[in-house]
Amino acid sequence: MSDKKESIQMSLFDYFLDDKQFSLKEATSYVKEEKKLDVNNASIRARIYEGIDRGIFKRLARGVYQVVSQIGKDISKCLLINGDGRDLSFLKDSSIDGIVTDHPYALGKSLKGGNRKFADYELFRYTEKDFKEKARVLKEGAFDVEFLPEENADNFEYLYKVKKMAIANGFQYYAKVSWIKGTFVSNTGRKQHNCEDVLFLTKGKPRALKPNAKKNKQVALDAKFDIKGLDAKQIFNLLVRNNLPVSYMTGTAGMLPKAFDVQPPAKKERVHQAEKPVKLLKQIIKFISKPYETLLDQFAGSGNLGIACSQLKRNSIMVEKDKATFNVMKDHVSSLIEGSKVEQVI
């Protein structure tokens, strides 16, 4: 099969993976308008029928299809890997739907308070190679979400460099949202003692995750539904419940908040010094992914991203380099996720 034919099929496969169904009209619009492939309608229809023969699509009715791999899909997996998260050679190109991670940054004063040190683990600073690898494994339009410290005199140059390295390697700056840590107080040499930054980057143009309120409303009206008084989310859910096609626009699944206001885990409950709360991670996951997609945490620490993914029916790959930390993470994750869903690679 030619590269263009393969591109059309796999683009449709990825885009409509979690939809109940898709129409020939939607497929044509996506290939021509979103992917901007120079092909005729007959070619798109032919690729769909070839996909049916290959077993990746199923015909539901005239001009209506479904991605086969999502039929009967009812379980998500969490893969735990004891390895170096900066070496992603075990992952195929364009195989990951999103990254959510907190790299153990070496930033001197930002990790110290008085005579105390707040990072008893290996530290480093990102290089361009890190972002080249992230871009390689991510699918086009996927989000890379990076936890970073709030800016101060000690770290602002490095934080600026992180953004420049990302952009130089195919990423676009999408947004930055503060994580306000509730009543938590820290004196790690920072001016703002209870917040971190959550940086949203995308590999190229952001993928389409935001429901298209205008198009979805029209579908509901065409189906003769009484939608008076319903908001955009309610109309979207109405279409999903009735197996009607829904449309999306580029961007996160909803408008990002001004700030994430989530209390971090209490010190006595943490399994890692830099542990992120499951509640916060679930909020982020909902913004950047769909059910049964695969998210990666390169520096997993507590493994809480895997727990959050499991609760939201996402697959996850958790990589942790330190052997002792990995063993703690393994026990922590296994205790909170059904055993059959957790796999280990040591």
> Is the pLDDT score of 132 beyond 50?
yes
The answer to whether domain 78-207+250-345 has CATH 2.20.25.90 is no
- Ordered DSSP codes for 163-232: HHHHHHTTEEEEEEEEEE-TT----SS-SSTTEEEEEEEEESSPPB-EE-HHHHHHHHHHTT---TT--H
How high is the mean pLDDT of the chain?
Answer: 86
Element (H, E) at 317: strand 315-320
Range 70-74 average pLDDT: 50
pLDDT for 193:
57
pLDDT for 269:
78
> Is the pLDDT score of 340 beyond 80?
no
- Higher-confidence position of 50 and 158: 158
> Is the pLDDT score of 10 beyond 80?
no
Could you report how far apart the first and last alpha carbons of the chain are, in Å?
A: 37
- Higher-confidence position of 110 and 49: 49
> Is the pLDDT score of 113 beyond 50?
no
Band of the pLDDT at 184, cuts 50, 70, 90?
low
> Is the pLDDT score of 339 beyond 80?
no
Q: What is the pLDDT of residues 213-251, one digit of tens each?
A: 999 999 999 999 999 999 998 999 899 888 899 999 999
> Is the pLDDT score of 299 beyond 90?
yes
Q: How many beta carbons lie within 10 A of that of residue 116, not counting itself?
A: 9
Q: How far is CA 307 from the centre of its chain?
A: 14
pLDDT for 116:
41
Residue type at 317 in one-letter notation: I
pLDDT for 324:
93
Band of the pLDDT at 54, cuts 50, 70, 90?
low
Task: Write down the domain spans for the chain.
Answer: 1-73, 78-207+250-345
> Is the pLDDT score of 2 beyond 70?
no
CATH number belonging to domain 1-73: 1.10.10.10
> Is the pLDDT score of 190 beyond 60?
no
Of 291, 299, 289, 294, which is closest to residue 329 (Cα–Cα)?
Answer: 299
> Is the pLDDT score of 262 beyond 60?
yes
- Least confident interval from 83-87, 172-176, 225-229, 268-272: 268-272
Domain 1-73 identical in fold to domain 78-207+250-345:
no
